[in-house]
Structure 1
Amino acid sequence: MSARRTDHSGIVIIGLGRFGCHLAGSLTQLGHEVLAVDRSPDRVQRWSAQLDRVVQADGTEEAALRQLGVTDFDRVVVAIGASVEASVLSVLALAELGVPQIWARATSEKHAKILASVGAHHVVFPEAETGERVAHLIVSRMLDFIEFGDDFAIAKVPVPSSLIGRPLRDLVPTERYGVMVVGAKLPGERFRYAGPETVLMPESVLIVEGTIDQVQRFATLS
Structure 2
Amino acid sequence: MGNDGFNRSVLVVGLGRFGCSVAQTLQSLDQDVLAVDKDPLLVARWAGTVPTVEADVTDPIAVEQLGASDFDAAVVAIGDSVEASVLVTGNLLDAGISDVWAKSVSNEHARILQRIGARHIVNAETDAGKRVGHLVTGQFLDYIEIEGEYTVVKIHTPPQVAGRTIAEAQVHDKYGVTVIGVNVPGHEFQHGTNDTLMPLGAELVLLGTQNQIDKFING
What is aligned with 1:77?
75
Q: Please give the secondary structure, in 2, of the residue aligned with 1:49.
A: coil
What is aligned with 1:210?
none
- Which segments of 5 or more consecutive residues in structure 1 lack a partner in the other structure? 131-141, 149-182, 198-205, 208-222
Tell me the CA shift for residue 48 of structure 1.
Answer: 0.3
Amino acid of the structure 1 residue aligned with 2:72: D
In 2, the alpha carbon distance for the partners of 1:129 and 1:85 equals: 21
What is aligned with 2:37?
38
Total equivalences in the alignment:
146
Query: Residues 147, 112 of structure 1: CA spacing in aligned structure 2 closer, same or farther, 3 A cutoff?
Result: farther
In 1, the alpha carbon distance for the partners of 2:76 and 2:2 equals: 23
Greater relative CO, 1 or 2 (CA 8 Å, sep 6+): 2
The structure with the larger Rg is: 1
Tell me the CA shift for residue 55 of structure 1.
Answer: 0.5
TM-score (norm 2): 0.58
In 1, the alpha carbon distance for the partners of 2:86 and 2:2 equals: 29
TM-score (norm 1): 0.58
Counterpart selection for 1:57 from 36, 55, 64:
55
Pair 1:27 & 2:23 matched:
no
CA deviation digits over 1:165-221, x for unaligned, max 9?
Answer: xxxxxxxxxxxxxxxxxx989xxx944445348xxxxxxxx95xxxxxxxxxxxxxx
What is aligned with 1:202?
none
- Which segments of 5 or more consecutive residues in structure 2 lack a partner in the other structure? 129-145, 155-170, 180-191, 196-205, 208-219
What is aligned with 1:124?
122
Runs of 4+ in structure 1 over 6 Å off: 144-148
Query: Residues 129, 41 of structure 1: CA spacing in aligned structure 2 closer, same or farther, 3 A cutoff?
Result: closer
CA deviation digits over 1:129-152, x for unaligned, max 9?
Answer: 46xxxxxxxxxxx8589799xxxx
In 1, the alpha carbon distance for the partners of 2:102 and 2:30 equals: 21
In 1, the alpha carbon distance for the partners of 2:92 and 2:109 equals: 17
